[in-house]
Chain A
Amino acid sequence: MAAAKTRTSTFSRNLSTAAPSHGPGLKCGPNGTVFLSSGIPDLDKILGGGFPLGSLVMVMEDAEAPHHMLLLRNFMAQGLVLGQHLLYSSPARDPRGFLGTLPSPAASKDDKSRERDPDQEKGLRIAWQYKKYFGENQLDGQRDGKHEYSNEFDLRKPLERHFINGPRIDCVSIQDCPDLSTLRDRCATFLSQFPRNDGSISCAGRIAIQSFCAPQRAYSNMEWDMLSFIRSLKSMVRSSNSVAIITFPPSLLSPSFCKRWQHMADTLLSVKAIQDEDKELAQLLTGYQDMVGFLNVHKVARINTQVY
């Protein structure tokens, strides 16, 4: 009805607050969060983009199977391939040895046909129960050009040496620490390289702590010390541009402390092995023979928001 008129208003777009461009391997998300990839594209999709910077991810291990190592391997390899820094801690005497088992990114599938040959599936895939209901085009549409953020990894091929020998990796053995203050200090030094400010992020860091549980020499109040370590790690990570993953065996904790640890996590996952030759499961799940375990997502990080 009215003739078109230019609307003059006092609003002017504040360009200085436009989303800054970030370094490789980082993606902007809602509510001012920035994501980095878990190393498993399917898991990133399930979590709504990836792991948000500043979050603490905790993984409950299965005592009978080492599947949590798959998560860690992909997480660590993803960071190294994209030039992010890594701090790795494990109970082993020489944690560096584990780096040799990290996978290499899978060869690009651009040349091959879109049909997925099941024999080619050597990477870690997450099979959704309902994946078959999504069109194939919806999944593949995101593959091209995504290698700046996340990669598929080929678990058969080890990661190239030059990634592992770089200066961006630091390893700590928990055996060296009679109490947790050494580990806490190493984490603090590592995280001080990525302080969070409002500008663009040049580099992000990843901390991977494997099988965090009481060191051999347990003393009274150890459980509270470990909890306070996790709490201080969480608050350090929160004010830095990094993500920390801690895997732990829940069976070695009392139920009450296990719940406390679970509440600490921003993102909570658990892995569970699938028994071989389980006929009931075989009927229930498609592709049962290819499956090695269950990954449960108990909690997804809610930073700056109260919804998922």
Chain B
Amino acid sequence: MNQRSSNLLDEALGLDQVIEPWPLRGQVVAIEDQVETSGSFVLHHLLKRSLSPNSSNVTIFIAFSQPFSHYDRILRKLGCNLVSQRDNSRFFFFDMLKLQCPGITPEGGLIALYGKIHKTISALPEISWKNVSIIIDDLSLMEVAANGSSDYVLDFLHYCRTLTSEFDCSLITLNHEDIYSSEDRPTFFIQMEYLADILIKAEPLATGLATDVHGQLTVSNKGRNKVSNFHFKVKENVVECFYPGRS
């Protein structure tokens, strides 16, 4: 398996060594991106790593953004078959594209969602509890589904975070930084950054567009007290990461 080129990202996350037990267990990973540079490739990469054949990881994917077919095609090119993982109960896909929480009590829908996640994890054999990843794509659409009640979304995230301590699972979220940077009080966003143990920011290059470099990634790993910054180029079946100046 060619892991050479993604090593910088894996290194920054601690995924370059053994992945059993899952190195991100008990941690909250927040991915932030912008209109110019999408961060969904990081999500796809983490999904692929978590479903690696060398690990017994189980992933719960909460999709507000794209349908299953979209991820299936992308992960297939990355070398991971989501359909068979789903059949083997290693991958659970919750399609939330049409979820719209009713106006009066937006929390109703989110409470039900949390209940579903909790039930799914509890139904797994106890051995698997340490190896569960919950991936949410993406948080800004969860706010839309909740009709703008960011407080309820924040509560939901806090509840999910209790899962990281109760079951030792990892929580990986994607959100769009440029939505909140223009707000007066970006409470929701700041809270999320505070909750995160690992922060991955995808930004465009300061110099603008380029063919060889699609953007830069900054990974802040609070646990290891380490900040890494490198450039990336997204390809069909791999993400190439390299230090500035090399490619």
User: If the complex has contacts A239-B67, A298-B35, are A307 and B182 also in contact, measured as CB distance less than 8 A?
Assistant: no
Decide: A306 near B147, CB < 8 A? Known: A31-B73, A260-B179: no
The answer, yes or no, to whether A63 is at the interface (CB within 8 Å) is no
B71 nearest in chain A by CB position: A304
Interface mask (A279-308 → B, CB under 8 Å = 1, otherwise 0): 000000000000000000011001111110
Q: Which of A31, A231, A259 contacts B35 (CB 8 A)?
A: A259
Interface residues of B (CB under 8 A from A): 35-36, 38, 40-41, 44, 66-67, 69-70, 73-74, 77, 97-98, 100, 140-141, 144-145, 147-148, 176, 178-180, 182-183, 234-236
Shortest CB distance B208–A (Å) = 13
Q: Are B235 and A307 in contact (CB under 8 A)?
A: yes
Residues of A within 8 A of B (CB): 31-32, 221, 223-225, 227-228, 231-232, 235, 238-239, 254-256, 259-260, 262-263, 268, 298-299, 302-307
Q: Which residue of A has the minimal Cβ distance to B141?
A: A231
Contact of B100 among A228, A255, A305, A306 (CB under 8 A): A228
B147, A259: Cβ atoms closer than 8 Å: no
Q: Is the CB of B148 within 8 A of A263?
A: no
Set of chain A residues within 8 Å of B178, measured between Cβ atoms: 259
Query: Are B144 and A224 in contact, with the CB atoms below 8 A?
Result: yes
Query: B210 to chain A: closest CB distance in Å?
Result: 13
Q: How many A-B residue pairs have CB under 8 A?
A: 69
Q: Does A256 lie within 8 Å of B182, measured CB to CB?
A: yes
Interchain CA distance A283-B98 in the complex, whole Å: 51
User: Of the candidates B98, B148, B182, B183, which one forms a contact with A224 in the assembled complex, judged by CB atoms under 8 Å apart?
Assistant: B148
Instruction: Contact check, A298 vs B36: say whether CB atoms are below 8 A apart.
Output: yes
B98 x A235 contact (CB < 8 A): yes
Output the least CB separation between B47 and chain A (Å): 11
Q: With both chains docked as a complex, state the minimum distance between the C-beta of B9 and any C-beta of chain A, in angstroms.
A: 14
Say yes or no: B140 contacts A263, CB within 8 Å: yes
Shortest C-beta distance, B34 to chain A (Å), equals 8
Q: Which of the listed residues A224, A231, A262 has the most CB atoms from chain B within 10 Å of its own CB?
A: A231
Minimum distance in angstroms from A31 CB to a CB of chain B: 6
Residues on B with beta carbons closer than 8 Å to the beta carbon of A260? 140, 144, 176, 179
Distance of A298 Cα from B77 Cα, bound (Å): 25
A235 vs B179: C-alpha distance when bound (angstroms): 21
A235 to B100, CA, bound (A): 12
Q: Which residues of A contact B180 (CB under 8 A)?
A: 256
Tell me if A306 and B234 are in contact (CB < 8 A): yes
Contact A259 B182 (CB under 8 A): yes
Given A228-B100, A256-B183, answer yes or no on A263-B73 (Cβ-Cβ < 8 Å): no
Candidates B70, B100, B144; contact of A304 at CB < 8 Å: B70
| A263 near B176: Cβ-Cβ < 8 Å | yes
